[in-house]
Amino acid sequence: MRGEPVALEISINRETCMGSGNCSFWAPGVFDLDDDGIAFVVDIDAGPEEKIILAAQGCPTQAITLTRDGRPVE
């Protein structure tokens, strides 16, 4: 796989997510809120990576963790 970009992975902590909707503001189409008001990933390819990084930074409770190849992305 040398030379192939390694995909970004998103994980959302459902305990700390407060349902602010900031992630879907910064990266609409990638994130949305479910019926319980908790964030989930709709489509990781729906927006550019920089927007997903802004969404993680903009999460008020830091409930979104981004990793690539097992390492944190900030």
Binding-residue total with another protein (CB under 8 A): 16
Q: Which of 20, 41, 46, 65 binds another protein (CB under 8 A)?
A: 20
22 touches another protein (CB under 8 A): yes
Report d(CA 26, CA 64) in Å as an integer. Answer: 13
31 touches another protein (CB under 8 A): no
Near another protein in 37-66, by CB under 8 A? 37, 54, 57-58, 60-62
Count of other CB atoms within 10 angstroms of residue 66: 18
State the alpha helices, DSSP H only, in the chain: 22-26, 49-58
